[in-house]
């Protein structure tokens, strides 16, 4: 196993960035979520749905997705990230790979649904002020594994597959 | 989304503080847990139960709660925190907002119960020696949403509702 | 509760180390996993199975365990760590205690199985290049509590029971 040293400050910064970003998403603030991407950012969150591109496109895709799946459903979703691996890339890019579970609770029902289990591949960059932005985010769903070749072809530009081999099957 | 920069050292310190605190709580060390609060600390952990105040009051409330709920039940509970957002406040206060799941296992039963899903709002301060203490902790349960007005009225002094809007519904 | 100050840099480094290590394990890279232990490392992961020793022994034990449990099963397992407590020990040892859940997903089944809940006790050391290695790892399963005396007797050398009392029952 190749141990990769990530600057400890960067590690905590990404954790804080992810937390703030998910508090926004789970609070239904889709525009705020989209603003955490670069202007030309790319977001693939569900197999079978095309990648969303640009901040406007990402906000629109999220609104459409929530209308289709959760209209009239008083669900409170919470995205849990874990096992974050940070790897500095070339040209100022930062690769972050981590696990995700989605926790969904409905009023009056104590037991949440916890599904699906995913692996996410972020490519992060810093803006002019040193703030973090997502250049691309690709969500792999464990229950819907994508063939490696399809993944490579579909990913196109910024997402070139997993930054490291250990999470591929 | 407003990206808030938390000092990276503080971020890891709070994670360590929370871990130590929850290891104590999950080990049944209620007095040790209460000592992680300020002398005048406030703790609201379950809708419908009044806030506990002072270290003695918090320890007493926890003992009563566990007697009522878990007497004779050999359950091993584990509190999982995640998606921690740290925000320096005024007057030396540190606001920490994070997600929680409670994992409960009983002897001989491999599958734990994982419920409920919560959001916690901590107000932390440093003592004279630089150690962290909880001035107030307020636990929101996703399955029992509290009306915003009730929350504000009940919170009173130190807890003034979420430190940021993104987790409110 | 005794608040223990862990160097914040070390805290993030251990999180990164654990993430990289688990990405390898969950990707089926058992040799890579074994290489994260010292040459004389010790690994006890399941009650009733003897401790594995040395890198070769640990890799062999993992392969045998996966053959017995998961041969022909297209499961994708993901190890989730949480509530990490880091405590510098004597002689350069670092004690790390944390909670674990195993998330297991099968193709076509959206809902993962999340079990069992465990507590892990790591003794870590740094190699000549400053990289982290596991000298010993002991996994306690919440649903199969081991009597304290058995634990002490079985643990032998490097693992001398929990580094702190709060997680014992």
Model confidence pLDDT, tens digit, residues A3-44? 677 787 999 999 999 999 999 999 999 999 999 999 999 999
Strand order, beta sheet including B76-88:
B52-53, B37-44, B132-141, B113-126, B94-105, B76-88
Q: Could you list the pLDDT tens digit for every one of the 169 residues in chain A? A: 666 777 879 999 999 999 999 999 999 999 999 999 999 999 999 998 999 999 999 999 999 999 999 999 999 999 999 999 999 999 999 999 999 999 999 999 999 999 999 999 999 999 988 899 999 999 999 999 877 544 443 333 333 333 333 333 3
| Contacts with A4 from chain C: Cβ below 8 Å | 16, 20
Residues from A contacting B (CB-CB < 8 Å) are 8-9, 11-13, 15-24, 26-27, 29, 32-33, 35-36, 76, 78-82, 103, 105-112, 114, 131-132
Question: Among A23, A30, A81, A104, which would you mutate to test the B interface (most chain B Cβ atoms within 10 Å of its Cβ)?
Answer: A23
Q: Are B142 and A29 within 8 A, CB to CB?
A: no
Among the listed ranges A140-149, B10-19, B130-139, which one has the minimum average pLDDT value?
Answer: A140-149
Position B159 confidence tier, pLDDT thresholds 50, 70, 90? very low
The answer to whether residue C80 scores a pLDDT higher than 70 is yes
CB pairs under 8 A between B and C: 106
| Contacts with A79 from chain B: Cβ below 8 Å | 83
Considering only CB atoms, A20 lies closest to which of B3, B11, B99, namely B3
Nearest-Cα residue of chain A relative to residue C11: A8
Mean pLDDT over the full length of chain C: 88
Single pTM value for the model: 0.89
Position C162 confidence tier, pLDDT thresholds 50, 70, 90? very low
Q: Are A97 and C23 within 8 A, CB to CB?
A: yes
Kindly report the backbone phi and psi dihedral angles of residue B162, in degrees, each rounded to the nearest multiple of 5, phi listed first.
-55, 140
pLDDT at B146: 78
Q: Are B142 and A105 within 8 A, CB to CB?
A: yes
Kindly report the backbone phi and psi dihedral angles of residue B70, in degrees, each rounded to the nearest multiple of 5, phi listed first.
-125, 15
| N-terminal to C-terminal alpha carbon distance within chain A | 16
Residues from B contacting C (CB-CB < 8 Å) are 8-9, 11-13, 15-24, 26-29, 32-33, 35-36, 76, 78-82, 103, 105-112, 114, 131-132
Could you give the CA distance from residue C78 to residue C27 in angstroms, rounded to a whole number? Answer: 9
Kindly report the backbone phi and psi dihedral angles of residue C156, in degrees, each rounded to the nearest multiple of 5, phi listed first.
65, -135
Considering only CB atoms, A19 lies closest to which of B83, B101, B145, namely B83
Could you give the CA distance from residue B107 to residue C141 in angstroms, rounded to a whole number? Answer: 10
Chain C closest-CA separation from residue A87 CA (Å): 10
Considering only CB atoms, C20 lies closest to which of A85, A117, A144, namely A85
Q: Are A35 and B1 within 8 A, CB to CB?
A: yes
Position C142 confidence tier, pLDDT thresholds 50, 70, 90? very high
| Contacts with A83 from chain C: Cβ below 8 Å | 18-19, 22-23, 78-81
Q: Are A29 and B166 within 8 A, CB to CB?
A: yes
Residues from C contacting A (CB-CB < 8 Å) are 8-9, 11-13, 15-24, 26-27, 29, 32-33, 35-36, 76, 78-82, 103, 105-112, 114, 131-132
Considering only CB atoms, B80 lies closest to which of C3, C82, C97, namely C82
pLDDT at C165: 36
> Up-side HSE of residue B62: CA atoms within 13 Å toward CB?
21
* Interface confidence (ipTM) of the complex: 0.87
Could you give the CA distance from residue C82 to residue B67 in angstroms, rounded to a whole number? Answer: 27
Q: Is the peptide bond before A23 cis (omega within 30 degrees of 0)?
A: no
pLDDT at C8: 78
Residues from C contacting B (CB-CB < 8 Å) are 1-6, 8-9, 11-12, 82-86, 97-99, 101, 113-117, 119, 142-145, 164-169
Kindly report the backbone phi and psi dihedral angles of residue A8, in degrees, each rounded to the nearest multiple of 5, phi listed first.
-55, -35
Among the listed ranges A33-47, A136-150, B86-100, C61-75, which one has the minimum average pLDDT value?
Answer: A136-150
Strand order, beta sheet including A94-105:
A52-53, A37-44, A132-141, A113-126, A94-105, A76-88
Q: Are C169 and B106 within 8 A, CB to CB?
A: no
The answer to whether residue B27 scores a pLDDT higher than 50 is yes
Mean pLDDT over the full length of chain B: 88
Q: Are A12 and B1 within 8 A, CB to CB?
A: no
Q: What is the DSSP letter of C102?
A: E
Q: What is the DSSP letter of C136?
A: E
The answer to whether residue C70 scores a pLDDT higher than 60 is yes
| Contacts with C23 from chain A: Cβ below 8 Å | 83, 85, 97, 164, 166-167
User: 3-class SS at A118?
Assistant: strand
């Amino acid at each position: 196993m190749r141990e990769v040293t990530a600057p400890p400050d960067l590690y905590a910064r990404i954790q804080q960035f992810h937390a703030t970003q998910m508090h926004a998403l789970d609070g239904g603030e889709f525009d705020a979520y989209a603003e955490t991407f670069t202007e030309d950012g790319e977001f693939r969150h569900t197999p079978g749905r095309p990648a969303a591109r640009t901040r406007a496109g990402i906000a629109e895709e999220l609104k459409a997705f929530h209308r289709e799946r959760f209209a009239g459903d008083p669900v409170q979703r919470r995205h849990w990230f874990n096992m974050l691996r940070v790897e500095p890339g070339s040209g100022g890019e930062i690769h972050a790979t981590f696990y995700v579970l989605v926790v969904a609770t409905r009023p009056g029902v104590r037991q949440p649904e916890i599904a699906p289990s995913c692996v996410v591949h972020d490519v992060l960059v810093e803006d002019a002020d040193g703030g973090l932005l997502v250049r691309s985010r690709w969500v792999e769903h464990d229950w819907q594994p994508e063939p490696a070749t399809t993944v490579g072809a579909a990913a196109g530009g910024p997402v070139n597959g997993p930054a490291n081999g250990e999470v591929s099957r």
